[in-house]
Structure 1
Amino acid sequence: MAKKQLTEAEWERKLNEVAVNKDDLNRLVMDYLVIEGYKDAAQRFSVEAGLSPQVDLDSIQNRMTIRSAIQRGDVEDAIGRVNELDPEILDTNPLLFFHLQQQRLIELIRSGNILSALQFATEELAPRGEEFPELLPELEKTMALLAFDLPLGSGSAPGASTALEPPPHIAELLSVSQKLKTAGELNAAILASQSQSADPKLPQMLRLMSYGEDLLGNTGPGKTHFPKLSLLQVLRGSNGDVGDENGDVKGRIPEVLVQEE
């Protein structure tokens, strides 16, 4: 099958022929800002776009405060705030509550408070493991941290030749990504309790567009040469790292770069 070729001008003309409702685009942006927690940006955008958000923007602040508590390691504060917001969130999500308690245990181990960590694991997490046996591997993995020398709060010198360092699959529990994972799971549960979607639609649509371009492109069945949009930087912007704990946007979504397919 011969390859087709579209010039940039032809491609832009075809794109411009597609009718896109501006209100629909604005709602996609608002949906992203609300779910990802950018309260100030959502407020400004609602005024500029003349669009009323479908949720109370104060609820965004509550979610971001809770997420910030987890990210700084204060899981107990996060749990207290969630219970104030809606006690049923944790009562009806035993797996989520276990992961929050697991994060509390990780923070105790990180601080070097070994006795408290052992007591907490025995009193709080062990009964959960007996009730839900499928959670035991995660508990055992977390307790394995105690078998290694951890420089964070343990008094040992980082990089010491005698230090017994944990393997990557154990050390990852101490990573920022572990906190983000727990915070994301809790954020999704809060959104669900408020009858909101946990995933913004905008990144989903960008991924769908990227998939469509792959089908149309040189390596797909479409066999067409056309200016292709690079969405890598845009998709990276969906992880919540562009704003602070108050939801203020520190940057903007990077410009979409035009590349040749």
Structure 2
Amino acid sequence: MSLFWIVIRRLAEIEERMATSKKVITREEWEKRLNDVKIRKEDMNKLVMNFLVTEGYVEAAEKFRMESGTEPDIDLATISDRMAVKKAVQCGNVEDAIEKVNDLNPEILDTNPQLFFHLQQQRLIELIRNGKIEEALEFAQEELAPRGEENQTFLEELERTVSLLAFEDVSNCPLAELLDISQRLKIASEVNAAILTSQSHEKDPKLPSLLKMLIWAQNQLDEKAAYPRINNLSNATLEDPTV
């Protein structure tokens, strides 16, 4: 037998031993361990409120505040203003979105040149989408080109956007993703995060991060034990361990 096959066989034997040597934790034992972990309802409520506030569910946040007595860490009235900005971007009304941001806090765009450029870039995209070619060229030259001269990354993004004008059918061109709704959503999320940061609030909700930590922890534990695992995060059902 060749050395290669000897090594392969030995690795297979080691892997088999590791698999069979895993500790098996029954559902009963696992549930007992979970029940031993005490989590305060107050902390759970704060986690829910954090998600509602960050994602902008103002009506749900207000109802949850009344039902649970959990106070948000920002004024709920500001959520409506933030969502109005986000909705404006998602609908392609970028100029209106910029005005609303400045009404909230002029320093947001003054201190974030990248965000302002991306909003202006989206304005250019909307002009191209609506077939306003001359207006698009004038806007790119007067508003975006000077910023591109100061920043190489901005210049590359501007050149990529202006390249849309070279295609008669922009819906089928290689840069069609710039006209996709996902582009608007991307900029809307960037604006939303900037507003939250200006309000000294986390720009991302804590709940998704905790779910990512759960997945990571389970992957680490998989190497050492067989246990009731949560495979479907939407219903958090424990599944019996497989050996």
What are the superposed Cα offsets for residues 195-242 of structure 1, whole Å, 9 maximum, x if unpaired?
Answer: 11101111111110110011001xx2x2x11121135xx5xxxxxxxx
Q: What residue number does 1:130 align with? A: 149
RMSD (CA atoms): 1.5
Q: What residue number does 2:55 align with? A: 36
Q: What residue number does 1:75 align with? A: 94
What are the superposed Cα offsets for residues 104-161 of structure 1, whole Å, 9 maximum, x if unpaired?
Answer: 0011111111111111101111011012222111111111111123366xxxxxxxxx
Work out which of the residue numbers 79, 98, 104 in structure 2 matches 1:85.
104
Work out which of the residue numbers 53, 58, 61 in structure 1 matches 2:72.
53
Q: TM-score, normalised by structure 2?
A: 0.87
Q: C-alpha displacement at 1:185, in angstroms?
A: 0.7
Q: What residue number does 2:30 align with? A: 11
Partner Cα separation in structure 2 for residue 105 and residue 259 of structure 1: 51
1 or 2, which has the higher helix percentage? 2
Q: What residue number does 1:121 align with? A: 140
Work out which of the residue numbers 210, 220, 234 in structure 2 matches 1:215.
220
- Identity in percent: 53
Q: C-alpha displacement at 1:16, in angstroms?
A: 0.9
Q: What residue number does 2:226 align with? A: 225
Asked if the contact 1:110–1:150 (Cα under 8 Å) also holds between the matched residues in 2, the reply is no
Q: 1:260 to 1:44 in 2, by over 3 A?
A: same
Matched, 1:105 2:105: no
Asked if the contact 2:26–2:240 (Cα under 8 Å) also holds between the matched residues in 1, the reply is no
Which structure has the larger Rg over C-alpha atoms? 2
> Where does 1:182-221 land on structure 2 (aligned, <5 Å)?
182-217=187-222, 220=223
Work out which of the residue numbers 168, 175, 194 in structure 2 matches 1:149.
168
Q: TM-score, normalised by structure 1?
A: 0.81
Q: C-alpha displacement at 1:166, in angstroms?
A: 1.1
Partner Cα separation in structure 2 for residue 127 and residue 68 of structure 1: 28
Query: What secondary structure is seen at the aligned counterpart in 1 of 2:97?
Result: helix
Matched, 1:173 2:174: no
Q: C-alpha displacement at 1:60, in angstroms?
A: 0.5
Asked if the contact 1:30–1:45 (Cα under 8 Å) also holds between the matched residues in 2, the reply is yes
Asked if the contact 1:76–1:104 (Cα under 8 Å) also holds between the matched residues in 2, the reply is yes
Asked if the contact 1:67–1:183 (Cα under 8 Å) also holds between the matched residues in 2, the reply is yes
* One-letter amino acid of the structure 1 residue matched with residue 179 of structure 2: L
Structure 1: gaps (5+ residues): 153-164, 235-253
Partner Cα separation in structure 1 for residue 135 and residue 202 of structure 2: 38
Q: C-alpha displacement at 1:260, in angstroms?
A: 4.6
